[in-house]
């Protein structure tokens, strides 16, 4: 049906509010912006609510709205584990990770590796992150975002991609302050528009069965799509390879989340410019918001599945003759009434643009501070560094636009694509960080093995091991599943992450013990008092964990 005049009016209101507020923040802060650190980190100027909102705005994007809704359509509520486990993980990051970063004045993740290990480890990881952020994150968000915007508006796919990139660049070149504060507005539109889509989806379900109201719609979904409300999959579930049973609670899912939320430049960057109390409060706020996300991005997918089972959307869900789960959310948006569709369209755009801006800013930060200033121009002025940072944003966006159509993002679902590609790097990186934090004998050789060897091990487990070893015996324990295309047994990628992580830690311990020094002189400054919690944070953390426990108790 496309967008109507009122929808475009609503969307333009959103655009001018974000752009206008961003420009006002930029002009207001420009007078005090004197260093590159201020540009990249907004040091000392973000409030707790701005940090929390920016964390969510950077995280929630097309991969959730489109990809995770698509997974909600195919596998159900179980995919919400990424959101609810993230809430628990954020609490751990706030308690243990942030004090270490802030105490040791760490502003970028490569800086941590340089300070804790050596230049070689830091340089390798900086390059890894740049490739990962551009080739996986930016490309996926642009591709999925443009797919959704094009489906809803009828505008050419590549024009949508260019428009999203341009909007993100406008925000990003203003620096971290502009991103942080405009993200508050982005989150407002994201949640409001997202809830509107969920409301419509639940009402559509109730209408289909001749009842009314969202409560009845949810009850009908529980009844008609009961198989989509299982949080822990059994081994015979067709999606066990993606979410292998208890691994999501006690295995690789922790590595996914702790690496993403605790060792990821574009996430931790939001809090690195604040004091510890403000950073912790912002991260706890983000954890509360994460609890809400499955309502916005997963329930609509399950609603679309329920309606699809009743014969609706049979044609709309098809791409080139095949069922495409990633069309679930755009199909629902097209059913919204005029005006409300514009609001949800703005919410989707807000999610895409905010996440693009966050990732582009981190690409800019790593390239400028960890590569350009360190190796290409050590005497560069602060103004020169800011200019290079802005140029890096533009170049990264252009590269992502040209590369994204060739990445195969649409082959297995956008969200799953990002998780599996990121999972090739995550185990080794997390091992290098966590061992560097808490074991003083961890040395540079161990970190080098974890980062490079961990990546190679991940490739070995994924592409080589199934071809040279019959993994079928592992299937009886739930550690292998048959791939329908290759007819080989493979280890689920979350379990692979767990195995690679354990191997990396074992080698790091061996190399550390073989080192004759009793401790690494590059150990971090850690004081037990750093981890002391305020009463308000403790209460908020307990409430968050209690809600997660209740959700898993109900939907086990």
Tens digit of each residue's pLDDT (9 = 90 or more) over 340-374: 778 777 777 777 877 787 788 888 888 888 888 88
SS (H, E, C) 177-239: HHHHHHHHHHHHHHHHHHHHHHHHHHHHHHHHCCCCCHHHHHHHHHHHCHHHCCCCCCCCCCC
169-201 pLDDT, tens digit per residue, is 877 766 555 665 666 676 777 777 778 888 888
Query: What global pTM score does this model have?
Result: 0.82
Confidence of residue 129 (pLDDT cuts 50, 70, 90): confident
- If we measure between CA atoms, which residue out of 232, 241, 211 comes closest to residue 223? 211
Please name every residue paired with 133 in a beta bridge, in sequence order, or none if there are none.
Answer: none
pLDDT of residue 240: 86
Residue 405 confidence (pLDDT): 77
User: Are 286 and 55 contacting, i.e. CB atoms less than 8 angstroms apart?
Assistant: yes
Read off the tokens for 84.
């609810």
Cα of first residue to Cα of last residue in the chain, in angstroms, is 39
For 500, phi then psi, to 5°, come to -65, -40
In order of 232, 234, 429, the CA distances from 239 in angstroms are 11, 9, 27
Report the alpha-carbon distance of residue 547 to residue 151 in Å, rounded: 36
Domain(s) of CATH 1.20.1730.10: residues in the chain: 5-25+47-409
Whole-angstrom Cα distance, residue 362 to residue 172?
A: 10
Say yes or no to pLDDT of 33 above 70.
Answer: no
Which residues of 44-145 form beta strands (DSSP E)?
A: none
Which pLDDT tens digit goes with each residue over 51-94?
Answer: 887 788 777 776 777 778 888 888 889 998 989 999 999 999 99
Inform me whether the pLDDT recorded for 234 exceeds 60.
yes
DSSP one-letter code for 337: P
Alpha-carbon distance of 506 to 499, in angstroms, equals 11
pLDDT at 500 over 90: yes
Note the CATH architecture for domain 5-25+47-409: Up-down Bundle (1.20)
> What average pLDDT does the segment 249-273 reach?
79
pLDDT mean across residues, the chain: 82
pLDDT digits (tens, 9 = 90+) for 3-19: 788 888 888 887 787 77
């Amino acid at each position: 049906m496309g967008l109507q005049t009122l929808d475009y009016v609503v969307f333009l209101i959103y655009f001018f509010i974000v752009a206008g507020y961003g420009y006002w923040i930029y002009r207001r802060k420009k007078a005090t912006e004197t260093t590159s650190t201020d540009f990249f980190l907004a040091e000392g100027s973000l409030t707790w609510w701005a940090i929390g909102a920016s964390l969510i705005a950077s995280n929630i994007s097309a991969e959730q709205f489109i990809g995770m809704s698509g997974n909600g359509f195919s596998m159900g509520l179980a995919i919400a584990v990424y959101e609810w486990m993230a809430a628990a993980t954020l609490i751990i990051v706030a308690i243990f990770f942030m004090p270490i970063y802030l105490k040791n004045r760490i502003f970028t993740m490569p800086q941590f590796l340089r300070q804790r290990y050596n230049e070689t480890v830091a340089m390798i990881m900086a390059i890894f992150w740049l490739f990962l952020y551009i080739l996986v994150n930016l490309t996926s968000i642009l591709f999925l975002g443009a797919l959704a915007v094009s489906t809803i508006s009828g505008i050419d796919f590549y024009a949508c991609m260019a428009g999203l990139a341009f909007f993100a660049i406008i925000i990003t070149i203003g620096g971290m302050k502009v991103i942080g504060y405009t993200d508050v507005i982005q989150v407002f539109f994201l949640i409001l528009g997202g809830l509107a889509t969920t409301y419509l989806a639940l009402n559509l379900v109730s209408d289909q069965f001749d009842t009314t109201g969202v409560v009845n719609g949810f009850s009908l979904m529980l009844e008609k799509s009961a198989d989509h409300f299982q949080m822990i999959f059994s081994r015979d579930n067709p999606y066990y390879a993606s979410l292998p049973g208890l691994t999501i609670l006690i295995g690789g899912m922790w590595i996914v989340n702790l690496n993403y939320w605790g060792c990821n430049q574009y996430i931790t960057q939001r809090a690195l410019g604040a004091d510890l109390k403000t950073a912790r409060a912002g991260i706890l706020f983000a954890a509360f918001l994460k609890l809400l996300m499955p309502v916005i991005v997963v329930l609509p997918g399950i609603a679309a599945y329920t309606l699809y089972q009743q014969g609706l959307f049979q044609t709309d869900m098809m791409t080139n003759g095949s069922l495409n789960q990633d069309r679930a959310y755009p199909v629902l948006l097209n059913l919204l009434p005029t005006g409300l569709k514009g609001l949800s369209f703005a919410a989707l755009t807000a999610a895409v643009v905010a996440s693009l801006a966050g990732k582009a800013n981190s690409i800019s930060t790593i390239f400028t501070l960890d590569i350009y200033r360190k190796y290409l121009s050590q005497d560069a002025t602060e103004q020169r560094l800011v200019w290079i940072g802005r140029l890096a944003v533009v170049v990264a966006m252009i590269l992502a636009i040209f590369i994204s159509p060739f990445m195969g993002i649409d082959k297995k679902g956008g969200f799953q694509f990002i998780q599996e590609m990121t999972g090739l790097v995550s185990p080794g990186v997390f091992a290098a960080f966590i061992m560097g934090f808490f074991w003083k004998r961890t040395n540079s050789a161990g970190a080098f093995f974890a980062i490079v060897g961990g990546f190679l091990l991940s490739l070995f487990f994924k592409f080589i091991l199934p071809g040279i070893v019959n993994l079928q015996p592992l299937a009886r324990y739930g550690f292998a599943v048959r791939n329908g295309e290759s007819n080989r047994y493979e280890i689920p990628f979350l379990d692979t992450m767990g195995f690679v992580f354990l191997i990396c830690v074992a080698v790091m311990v061996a190399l550390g013990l073989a080192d004759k020094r009793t401790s690494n002189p590059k150990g971090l400054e850690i004081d037990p008092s750093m981890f002391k919690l305020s009463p308000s944070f403790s209460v908020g953390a307990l409430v968050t964990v209690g809600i997660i426990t209740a959700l898993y108790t109900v939907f086990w």
